[in-house]
Structure 1
Amino acid sequence: MTQPSDAETDAWAVLDTAGRHVGLDPAGAKLLRLGENALYRLPGGIVARVSRAGQLAAAAREVAVARWLDANHVPAVRAWPGVDQPIDVDGRAVTWWRELPPHRHGTALMVATALRRLHQLPPPTEFDIGRLDPFVRLAERIDRAATLAEADRAWMRTHLAELEARYAELPSGLPETVVHGDAWIGNVVSTEDGQVVLLDLERCSVGRPEWDLASTAVKAFTLAGITAEDYSTFVRTYGHDVTSWAGFETLRDIREFRMTCMAAQVAAENPARHDEVMLRLACLRGEHGPRPWTWTPVP
């Protein structure tokens, strides 16, 4: 029998403490995913989400965003009612959610549909949704990339500074809106009754809608994860092609760098992923030919 990893053991201990605090018994909970967050399915249609340390404010905003979207009739993951959220366990946030009904993975069309609806909403007035930060946690992930040589981390820090400078000089574009912050096909699903549901709301904020649109363009043209026809459907449905905007390459490069920093974080905990990090770095440095590139998802 495979022994649980240290990260899984730690996440379970946090879940157990939080569950006892709010009266939700985690006995019988099943680990669904262990990545940026640990997701557990509990009996009774509850999903618990255990964050990494330092994400309490982001978790509180995510719960507030979920309730705001529900009040505005925008289909999204729904916070479990009647429970104080988030629960702080030694700096790690635990939140509780309604399990989704049967659903299927998202498509480019679904992402466009969900983003059109989200981007049309006026920002909430009952809480501070915050402003988009495309560079959140990147410096921390570089510092903790234990499998990388110092020369590689130094290159990443320099590249991060260059991207920050380019972002500060972005040309004007679409009017600012509420943005999802991590809008790709993995964060959208369709339920059996045809609703398109947004997932992972922790980066929702006010910012450039192009940031959300760039994710699907990266999926199409950096990773060849969807077809050109799929991307054309996305553009027609949303009504704007972000690749025609002068600032697109900057957002694309930031997105690619975020994906690389995430892989570096995962490799620090699972060194078997180190080769994937080195591949991504080689691509960003221009050492692996033109896009599209073949990147393996992590974790």
Structure 2
Amino acid sequence: MPTAHLTPAHLQARTARAVTAATSAGRALGLDVAHPKVLHDVFSVVVHLAPSPVVVRVPVVLPPGLDAARQAARQARELAVVSWLDRQGLPVVRPSPRVPCEPVQRDGFSMTFWEFVDVDASREPDYVAEAALAADLHAVLRGYPGELPFLSPLSATLPTCLALLEENPGLLPPEDLERARGEWAILAPMLSAREGFSAMFPQVSVQPIHGDAPSYNILRTASGVRYADFEDVTLGPVEWDVSFLGPEGAAVYNAAAARAGVRPLDPAALRVIDAARMLQMVVCHALVPQLPMLAEGLAPALQNWRKTPFAGGGL
């Protein structure tokens, strides 16, 4: 059955429910919450539980198939990795020390609690130059001792998004959906499991990685940058974290990697990863019913994908 798009009234009500859940959960954990403030509201509703120096992230737009147990496991992995990075001395947005370091379920939401960081809005991002930060992060993450799934942002969601697009043919034109299915048929054997990737790229090592473009997911403060948003932390090739940064970004990363003792990017693996990341953006149209504004945001990526060779070319 086709999935109905949420209306502006539905979206507003969802945000209000998320704020209420975050506020009540915070108070139940002993926090002083007098003036909750929404800091961000797209895929997650991010709430500052003022005056407490605590921020709650409440995911509200979820990939199909991500049930409560899988979501809690995903959040637990993020909390564990970020806590470990903090103990290594890396500048991260830390889990809040004022509450237990675990996901909290409330009113149908699963949420995590983080330390409030005062962002310096005057600091402009430079995503290419900040590709160097990804190399520094990878150098530390190599030592993470916990278990992580392989490329979970891709393998755990892309097939279910494709299935939802097939059930809702109006979300993506038929010719685009046919191409997306064909590209995934080529990419899946090498990106769905570590064994397949290693067979295709035996020269490319895998390790714990951020999972979602760390040079974009940083917070800039008066005292420097802090790594943030490890929701998609996973095991995979470092190329996954620097896709779409182009030759200049790759050069910046490689220079920083040489200083940090991290291997340089493999051009062949990066081409495959770029193709997979582009396909991932295309199948994100499956989330449009949950977040209608996403259609407009994805339009440039869809047009660009249509102009590129099938599955990145040369695979």
State the TM bucket, normalised to the shorter chain: 0.7 to 0.9
Q: State the aligned residue count.
A: 275
Q: TM-score, normalised by structure 2?
A: 0.73
1:37 equivalent in alignment to 2:37: no
| Aligned counterpart in structure 2 of residue 211 of structure 1, from 205, 218, 240 | 240
Aligned residue for 1:59, secondary structure, equals helix
Q: Which moved more, 1:87-96 or 1:268-277?
A: 268-277
Q: 1:247 to 1:122 in 2, by over 3 A?
A: closer
The range that moved more, 108-117 or 204-213, is 108-117
Distance 2:232 2:178 in 1: 27
Give the one of 171, 174, 179 matched to 1:148. Answer: 171
1:132-143 aligned within 5 A: 132-133=151-152, 134-143=154-163
1:232 paired with 2:245, answer no
- Cα distance in 1, alignment partners of residues 157 and 109 from structure 2: 15
Write the distance in 2 (CA, Å) between the matches of 1:150 and 1:198: 37
8 Å contact 1:174–1:209 — kept in the other structure?
no
Between 1:91-100 and 1:143-152, the stretch displaced more is 143-152
The answer to whether residue 305 in structure 2 is matched with residue 284 in structure 1 is yes
Q: Residue 210 of structure 2: which of 170, 177, 180 is its match? A: 180
Q: In structure 2, what is the Cα distance between the partners aligned to 1:157 and 1:7? A: 32
Task: Quote the sequence identity (%).
Answer: 24
Question: Among 10, 22, 25, which residue is 1:15 paired with?
Answer: 22
Once residues 201 and 254 of structure 1 are traced to their aligned partners in structure 2, the CA distance between those partners, rounded to angstroms, is 20
C-alpha distance 270-94 of structure 1, shift in aligned 2 (>3 A): closer
State yes or no: 1:99 paired with 2:116: yes
**Aligned residue in 1 for 2:280:** 258
After the TM superposition, which residues 187-202 of structure 1 pair with which residues of structure 2 at under 5 Å, given as runs? 187-194=217-224, 196-202=225-231
Q: Deviations over 1:141-197 (max 9, x none)?
A: 344455515735454344323221243353133432221111243212343223x32
User: Are 2:282 and 2:298, in contact at CA under 8 Å, matched by a contact in 1?
Assistant: yes
Bigger shift: 183-192 or 101-110?
101-110
CA–CA distance in structure 2, aligned partners of residues 220 and 201 of structure 1: 23
Identify the range of structure 1 (152-161 vs 32-41) with the bigger mean alpha-carbon deviation.
152-161
User: 1:258 is matched by which residue type in structure 2?
Assistant: Q
One-letter amino acid matched to 2:270: F
2:85 and 2:140 in contact (8 A); partners too: no
TM-superposed CA distance for 1:22, in Å, is: 1.7
Unaligned runs of 5+ in 2: 1-7
Shift of 1:273: 4.2
Residue 203 of structure 1: how far off its partner (Å): 1.9
RMSD value over aligned CA atoms? 3.2
- 1:191-229 Cα offsets, whole Å, 9 max, x none, are 3223x321111222332222223x2xx1336xxxxxx4x
| Structure 1 residue 285: Cα displacement | 3.4
Distance in 1 (alpha carbons) for counterparts of 2:160 and 2:188: 15
Give deviations 1:245-294, integer Å, cap 9, x for gaps: 222211001111222233x1453234454355455334323379xx9xxx
Distance in 2 separating the partners of 1:96 and 1:274 = 30
Structure 2 residue corresponding to 1:77, chosen from 76, 93, 98: 93
TM-score (normalizing by structure 1): 0.77
